[in-house]
Amino acid sequence: MEILVRAYDHPDATKLVAEVQQEYVARYGGPDGTPTGPAEFAPPRGLFLVGYLDGAPVACGGWRVHDGGEPGFRDGDAELKRMYVVPEARGRGLARRMLAELERTARGAGRRRLVLETGTMQPEAIALYESAGYAEVPPFGFYACAPGSRYFGRELPS
């Protein structure tokens, strides 16, 4: 998989973000309501990546900066958002490769910890994050009080 930096509003990113939102509708009955916008995923305050197989966009994910001035966040945090692999490309380790690249780029931007929120209706995501060394952290963000939400974090080695 070739992984490229793309603006959050790039057509390939927009297509994949729309697909992941439909995944949330199928699993939870509605899209992720967390406010997000292109500026949050623009360097140096964030980054959005799209993975390609044979020129077709098949995976995405991004991170955005948060620091200790926000409840639930510490200085040096980056929040992982919109991790997704299209159904026909699943089971090939692409999510793990995307996660590794998101960690690498966040670390390269000076971030010390990656945090994320997911839900109990995404057991494969929970399994990925736990197997990659993520541990539960206190709730934060838009869904901090939502039942069924799970919060994970991992220190990024320097």
pLDDT tens by residue, 77-114: 999 999 999 999 999 999 999 999 999 999 999 999 99
Q: Are 97 and 52 in contact (CB under 8 A)?
A: no
Q: What is the pLDDT of residue 76?
A: 96
- The structure tokens listed for 97 are 């490769």
Identify whether 44 is preceded by a cis peptide bond (ω within 30 of 0): yes
Q: What is the pTM of this model?
A: 0.95
Q: Which residues of the chain have pLDDT under 70?
A: none
pLDDT of residue 69: 86
The answer to whether the CB of 136 falls within 8 A of the CB of 150 is: yes
- The pLDDT assigned to 140 comes to 92
Residue 22 has a pLDDT of 97
Instruction: Using alpha carbons, list the distances in angstroms from residue 100 to 63, 107, 145, 150, 156.
Output: 12, 10, 29, 20, 11
What does the CA dihedral 84, 89, 90, 93 come to, rounded to 10 degrees? Answer: -90
- How high is the pLDDT of residue 142? 87
What pLDDT score does 70 carry? 86
